[in-house]
A and B are shown apart, each in its own frame.
Chain A
Amino acid sequence: MSPPRFTRDDVAASWRDALALWDVHVQLSPPEPHERFRPDTSHAQEPLAYIDLVKRQVFVNFDLLEAMEATGSLTAVLAHEIGHHARFPHTLGWDAELRVQEQRLIPGLKQSLTNLFYDLQVNEVVGRTHAEALCAVYRGFQRVQGGVMSPLFFFYLAVYEELWGLAPGALVPQSQLAPMEARFPGVRAEARMFAQTFYSLPNGKLQFLYFCATFIRYIENPAEFEFCLPLGGDVSVPDADDLDAAIHGSSRWDDAMEEAEERGWLEPMSTRSREQDDLSTIYRVTEHLPGVGAGTLRQALVAKHYRRLVDRHLLQLPTAPSQPEPYLRTLPQAWEYGDDPSSIDWTLTVLSQGHLAAVSPLRRELEADLPPPSELGVPSMEIYLDTSGSMPNPEVSLNAMTLAAQVLSASALRKKATVRGVVYSHGDPLVSPWMYDEETAREFLLSYIGGGTQFPFDVMGELSRERPDALRILISDSDFLSNVAREKNLEPVLASIRRSRLVVAFLALPNEQRAREALAPLLRERRFRLVIVRWPSDFGKAAGDLAQALLEN
């Protein structure tokens, strides 16, 4: 319920004015009053207003606005929120791009600056007609919040003073002018130059790079940096798809980066990390978001990254044409009046009916040779993936063995096979149930244990008894040879090979001869094959070839 200070008509009138301020036609639901996130805390800790960019709904904290003595600023506050919807950022995809670049420029930044950036853009437009109302909000916030103003907030407000032609101290506390100038020499001149340059830059990318390059001076420790501003945290966080697209397309920023270097805003590339692999970027972008560790967002982004790599190694299978040409003749049937005369097979009729051919002709149709509903003959595939410490965690760096497993499983699943993953290192391996879809298999095969290597021969024995005819692929490196050498009794291993349709040891080894010697007892088995890649980086392509060889016949 709105407090009586804001009647329904007041809010409706302000909403109308706020919508009219943006020169685009937008259709949004009228604003809703904000419900406290934590009813036990003071309303100063709650947001003043925000827009849910997924539902496109604006919420306003009427209580806080009243406490700030800024009730006359309702139109400006609403216009500010509509500005986020209409122009800055407008889409969460753009927000995701900025977040990715921000982590590139200020590694380890705890709280994103993107909202501050949009506020500068939005307030310039709103401030053309409602500057005083916005000033009332910022002054009111200082009254309600209390405490010492952070250097970043000081600089941010100084930019508004310069933008709106206010005297120094009109928004920032007078008492902090001299101490800030002593601590950050030239802060005022910098705010002036920022206000007079930022808004004349030709595009959002350059604006953001200039913004980061300037504001970084007022962030003392990026890893611990947190701030709370009025109208600050009012834009939602982008989802995994937005971030994935931003990470994948970050090369779109190269031109803007070069221009920023030329203008002297950024250090030359040589002093920054030019090569940013996607997994590092994923790590940085997700590092400070809630849910890191068991982080589902990071896992989702990593899974999307591996999926892209898998697709690079898998051929697109040609699909059956949707309307195949009919060419097979059907069984003969009696022709009747009304049937198509061209369907009469006279040769067959004369041969079978003799002189009565003309009395009862036979007809035959043509039909298409439809493929069987599913391709048969693809067996179940069991993938044993070595995730010992000699290979990296696939979430933080490209793990070639994991990629090989992903390629094999995706290939099999696209052929309608079922896949089971066994991720091992030492101790108990992780065993998945039989999986039917790529998403589940991809997620499971991104598991990582680390540590020593002990191939789970006993698990393979058990599983081979449970599903005897499966295709078993063992992905490992030279550790597998020592695992086999350590097995005193190879008989159970040989038995499980015999029970399988085929067991393929897919190993990264520099020396094939050594492998043949070490695996001689296994190689004598008819159902055992050895596939060797020289370098781990060859695993992906080799897995694609292997999948084709095993599954395409």
Chain B
Amino acid sequence: MAFDLREIQTQLDAAPIVSPYSHDLSLAIVCDTFRLAKVRPPSLADWGELEQRARSPLWREQVVMLAHVLASSSLRHETALTLQRSDDATTLLQRFFQDVAPLTAEMVRSNAFRREEFLRKWVRAVGGQWKGESPKGSVSRLEQLDYRKAEAELRRAEEARKQEADKRQQALREAEQRAADARGWRE
């Protein structure tokens, strides 16, 4: 079975923007997904360990968002079909949360690119494939969407921008001065 991105996105577009689930309920939804695949879900202690390992204030909202996308679309069903009995839920979740670490729930809610990245990273974590896409195409698309990577690369641009900024500010000040001179008298 392959995940249908367009279908999942259409279903999510029709769902409420904000996740209606509390943290505890979200944990239950994720656990249920594993149970559907007959995979042992993480225990409460495992969840505690996952949170500790993540060491991120965003972790809880990421869990809530994961539960929301699972429950509001066919993602849960497809995930259950894709998961192997031999999969270890805790390791899989740990890998996923590491992957999506910089994404906030707000980003996933309001930015179509970030939502796609979130979905694609989940499907990569569970070892699924996308409908109508070659594995290579999926990898390159995910690379293009990778927020962490884009941010790191952008830092280079920001540094260069900062160096250029002084020059630009100077040019803008000069332009303003020229305009003021051309206007002549000032009160």
Q: Which chain A residues have a beta carbon within 8 Å of chain B's beta carbons?
A: 106-108, 162, 165, 184-190, 192-193, 195-197, 199-200, 202, 216-217, 221-223, 267, 271, 273, 280, 283-284, 287, 389, 391-393, 396-398
Contact = CB atoms under 8 A, between A and B. Distances in A.
Contacts of A393: 183-185
Interface of B: 110-114, 141, 144-145, 147, 150-151, 153-161, 164, 168-169, 171-172, 175-176, 178-179, 182-187
B156 A107 contact: no
Closest 3 CB pairs of A and B: A186-B157, A189-B153, A108-B175
Nearest to B111: A200
A125 B187 CA distance: 48
A227 to B, nearest CB: 18
Contacts of B110: 200, 202
Contacts of B179: 107-108, 283-284, 287
B186 A217 contact: no
B185 to A, nearest CB: 4
Contacts of B187: 392, 397-398
B144 A165 contact: yes
A200 B185 contact: no
A106 B185 contact: no
B177 to A, nearest CB: 10
Contacts of A283: 179, 183
24 contacts: A107-B179, A108-B175, A165-B144, A185-B156, A185-B159, A186-B161, A190-B154, A192-B150, A192-B153, A196-B113, A197-B111, A199-B112, A200-B113, A216-B168, A217-B161, A221-B171, A271-B169, A280-B183, A287-B182, A392-B185, A393-B183, A393-B185, A397-B185, A397-B186
Nearest to A161: B144
A216 B114 CA distance: 26
Nearest to B165: A267
A284 B147 CA distance: 39
A397 B187 CA distance: 7
Q: Looking at B113, B164, B178, B182, which has the most chain A CB atoms within 10 Å of its CB?
A: B113
Nearest to A216: B168
Contacts of B176: 107-108, 273
A273 B173 CA distance: 10
Contacts of B178: 108, 223
Chain B interface helix/strand/loop/mixed: helix
A392 B184 contact: yes
Contacts of A184: 157, 160
Contact of A186 (B144, B154, B169, B172): B154
A190 B184 contact: no
Q: Looking at A108, A184, A271, A284, which has the most chain B CB atoms within 10 Å of its CB?
A: A108
B185 A217 contact: no
A222 B154 contact: no
A112 B151 CA distance: 30
A222 B175 contact: yes
Nearest to A221: B171
B157 A190 contact: yes
Contact of A189 (B156, B169, B175, B185): B156
A208 B111 CA distance: 17
Contacts of B169: 267, 271
B175 A217 contact: no
Given A190-B154, A193-B154, A200-B112, A217 B183 contact: no
Given A186-B154, A216-B168, A217-B168, 7 more contacts: A107-B172, A189-B153, A192-B153, A280-B183, A287-B179, A393-B183, A393-B185
Contacts of B182: 287
A396 B141 CA distance: 54
Contacts of A280: 183
A268 B136 CA distance: 44
A196 B159 contact: no
A195 to B, nearest CB: 8
B164 to A, nearest CB: 6
B70 to A, nearest CB: 22
A199 B175 CA distance: 31
Given A200-B110, A396-B185, A106 B172 contact: yes
B112 to A, nearest CB: 6
B183 A397 contact: yes
B7 to A, nearest CB: 16
B175 A107 contact: yes
Contacts of A217: 161, 164, 168
A186 B185 contact: no
A305 B150 CA distance: 47
A190 B156 CA distance: 9
A224 to B, nearest CB: 11
Given A162-B144, A197-B111, A392-B185, A185 B150 contact: no
A63 to B, nearest CB: 37
A393 B186 CA distance: 9
Given A185-B159, A190-B157, A217-B164, A223 B141 contact: no
Contacts of A193: 150-151, 154
Nearest to A264: B158
A321 B179 CA distance: 51
B143 to A, nearest CB: 10
Given A107-B175, A108-B178, A221-B171, A185 B157 contact: yes
Q: Looking at A165, A186, A217, which has the most chain B CB atoms within 10 Å of its CB?
A: A186
A210 to B, nearest CB: 13
A217 B162 CA distance: 10
Contacts of B159: 185-186
